[in-house]
Every structure is written in structure tokens, then in C-alpha cells.
Structure 1
Amino acid sequence: MEWETRGLRVTESANSEYGASKNRKYDLEDRLLEFAVTVVELTESLPNTRAGNHIAGQLLRCGTSPLSNHGEVEAAESHKDFLHKLRICLKELRETKRWLRLVGRLKKLGQPANLTACLTEIEELIRIFAARVRTAEKNAK
């Protein structure tokens, strides 16, 4: 699966203290949805072995979590809540990256066709969420 990166950054309007921005250049939720779909498809391609099942379960949990947690970010009740939920998304994305790297290293698991695209997209999502956390921390001061 090809990922459309568009080279754009997530931007929030100046008048939005926390919660979803009305002026985003692209829809981050759509990107997270597509990523979650790809993670599910990747886990389904892993072998039905003890290691394959364990990794698939872990990858399913952390790889689909940012999508639902992003919904929590958009419904944040305060700036502190917004920042906390952004950090959860970032933490789950970083965990997903580690599991994906493990899949890439384990020869017995095979090489899923969409692994390279997943690794590229996870790097971009991590950068987006890390930047959002930094911005939110700066705005909290």
C-alpha cells in the first residue's frame, strides 16, 4: 500500500487552545485510520505460531490504539487533558514502531509486503505527534 505523505504538517489555528483544529491541512484521523487498517492486515499475514500470535496481539493493541486515542485528544476537557492524551498517542506509536522493527528482523515471520510502508508511516506519525506535544507544552507555559 502506498502512503500519501503530501509533505504537509499538522497545524492548529491560533485561536484553538486545545482539542481538534478546524484548519488542519489534512485529516490526521484519516491517516490514523489507514495506518490501523494496514496494521490489522499486516498482523493477519503473520504465521500462526506462538511467536507470530504474540507479536500479532501486541501489534494489534498498540498499532490500533492511536486511532481511538486521537478521538480522546479531540474531546479533551482541558489543556492538561489534551497534552496527556497526545502523549498516550505518541507512546503507542513508539511502541508500534518497535514491534514493527521486530517483525522485520525475525526471518521466521516472513517479510510482510506492507512492512516498509508501515515503518515509513509510523516515523511520520511519530514526528507529527512529537511536534504536537512540544507545541502543546510550549502553549501551556
Structure 2
Amino acid sequence: MNHSKFDLSERLEDFAARIILLFDKKSLSFAGEYLAKQLIRSSCSSALNYGEALGAGTDKDKINKLRICLKELRESLRNLNIQTKAKLITENDLGSLKDENDQLIRIIVTRIKNIN
């Protein structure tokens, strides 16, 4: 049995949960709060759209949902980079989040290519 779809679903959910937990107890500036909310939205959206892709009826629908997932993951990575550069979060705060974000992007790109 192939568990790769399940594993990717889990990884996307875990990534979103880790983002939520990162900001759950933080006291944030205006910019920090704005970016944290946007990051939570984009990371959760990537997991939710991947779930929709799994249930898509056609390859076209699946590709569209995977592209949205990819867009949201790229937005998440950009957001993490901005927050790091603005010193709103530190590399210590991030743990392996950026690396996981990058790996998830690569996996989704590969999934899209494999459908085409």
C-alpha cells in the first residue's frame, strides 16, 4: 500500500500546526501580528488545498488545487524569510520550518509534473 499521499497530508498538517504553535504564545508587534496571521492562513491553506486535490475528480482539478497549494507554500516561505530579515522571528524560533517548507514545495512541484 502506498502511504505517500497520507504522509504528505500529515506533513502539510504538521507544518501548519507548527506555524500555529510558533505564534500561539508570542506577544507581537503590529507587523509581527499581521505577518503571523497571514502565515497561519497560507500554511493552513496549503494543507487544506492538498486535501481537496486528493479528492479531485479530474487531473485538471487536481492540478489546480496542487497549484494553489504550491502558491500558498511559496507565500509561507517568503513570509518566514521576511519575518527573519525583520528580526520578528529568529532562526532559533524556526527550528527546521524553513527546510520543511522548502521540501514541501519540491514535493508538490514533483506531484504537478507527474500528472502532466
Aligned to 1:34: 14
Report the Cα distance in structure 1 between the residues aligned to 2:93 and 2:54, rounded to whole angstroms. 29
> Alignment partner of 1:113: what SS?
helix
What number of residue pairs does the alignment pair up?
Answer: 115
Aligned to 1:6: none
Aligned to 1:135: 114
5+ residue gaps, structure 1, are: 1-21
5+ residue gaps, structure 2, are: none
Greater mean alpha carbon deviation, residues 38-47 or residues 81-90: 38-47
Instruction: Give the CA deviation at 1:45.
Output: 4.8
Instruction: Give the CA deviation at 1:114.
Output: 4.0
Report the Cα distance in structure 2 between the residues aligned to 1:42 and 1:27, rounded to whole angstroms. 22
Aligned to 2:103: 124
1:106-121 superposed matches below 5 A: 106-107=86-87, 109-111=88-90, 113-121=92-100
Report the Cα distance in structure 2 between the residues aligned to 1:81 and 1:66, rounded to whole angstroms. 15
Provide the TM-score with structure 1 as the length reference.
0.74
Maintained 8 Å contact 1:44/1:56: no
Partner AA of 2:3 in structure 1? R
Provide the TM-score with structure 2 as the length reference.
0.89
Q: Give the % identical residues.
A: 37
Structure in which a larger fraction of residues adopt helix: 2
Runs (4+) off by over 2 Å:
43-48
Q: RMSD of the TM alignment (CA)?
A: 1.7
